[in-house]
């Protein structure tokens, strides 16, 4: 039921298989927190679910603004990433738009992903497919925005207000609108 409500708020297909343009509404920033199930190929294949990143939905992807950080800023080592070069990629590709500061960005990504990743790990142990995992997370109150079967990952909707603080959200206007 929550997945259908989220789908209607964001004009998403009810099967959560195709990405659509994300409208931030009154929130200045919106995007997705991308979580990998771990069953994809190549870099997307690993034993347990892992965070991919936080991506503001700008340009063709959505109406989000860009906060604008420094691409050359020093990137911290954080516990929710195991590959420092991947962290560098996430900062220069997405983080610079999501935050002024890489420390804040990566701490936010780790904090927001912690609880859903724990649930995903349990669900994966129990043999849940990606679509079953999406339903279970939605039923637990997580704002599942998209399911990407090709890379075996889920996208949870997030927003930030003018303060730049990102949060999981199914209602951008209420949670992050100005």
* Burial tier of 40 (Cβ tally within 10 Å: 0-12, 13-18, 19+): middle
Tokens 């109406």 appear where?
A: 63
**Per-residue model confidence (pLDDT) at position 20:** 87
State residue 26 phi and psi, 5-degree precision: -85, -5
C-alpha 178/C-alpha 169 separation (Å) is 15
3-19 tens-digit pLDDT: 433 333 333 333 444 57
Q: Are 165 and 18 in contact (CB under 8 A)?
A: no
Helix (H, G, I), strand (E, B) or coil at 78: coil
The mean pLDDT value of the chain amounts to: 90
Helix (H) or strand (E) holding 14: none
Tell me: the pLDDT tens digits for 129-139? Answer: 999 999 999 99
The burial class, CB within 10 Å (0-12 / 13-18 / 19+), for 2 is middle
Helix, coil or strand: residue 2 = helix
Q: Which domains does the chain have, with CATH numbers?
A: 2-176 (3.90.730)
Q: pLDDT tens for residues 72-84?
A: 999 999 999 989 9
- pLDDT, residue 18, reads 58
> pTM of the predicted model, to two decimals?
0.89
């Amino acid at each position: 039921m929550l997945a259908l409500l989220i789908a209607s708020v964001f004009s998403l297909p009810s099967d959560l298989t195709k990405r659509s343009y994300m409208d931030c509404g009154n929130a200045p920033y919106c995007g997705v927190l991308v979580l990998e199930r771990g069953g994809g190929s190549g870099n997307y294949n690993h034993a347990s679910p892992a965070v991919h990143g936080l991506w503001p939905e700008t340009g063709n992807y959505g109406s989000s603004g860009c906060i604008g950080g420094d691409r050359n800023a020093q990137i911290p080592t954080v516990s929710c990433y195991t590959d420092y070069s991947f962290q560098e990629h996430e900062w220069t590709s997405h983080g610079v738009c999501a935050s002024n500061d890489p420390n804040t960005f990566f701490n936010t990504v780790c904090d927001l992903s912690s609880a859903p990743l724990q649930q995903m790990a349990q669900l994966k142990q129990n043999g849940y497919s990606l679509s079953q995992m999406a339903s279970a997370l939605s039923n637990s109150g997580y704002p599942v925005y998209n399911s990407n079967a090709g890379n075996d990952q889920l996208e949870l909707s997030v927003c930030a207000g003018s303060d730049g603080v990102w949060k999981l959200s199914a209602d951008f206007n209420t949670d992050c609108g100005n």
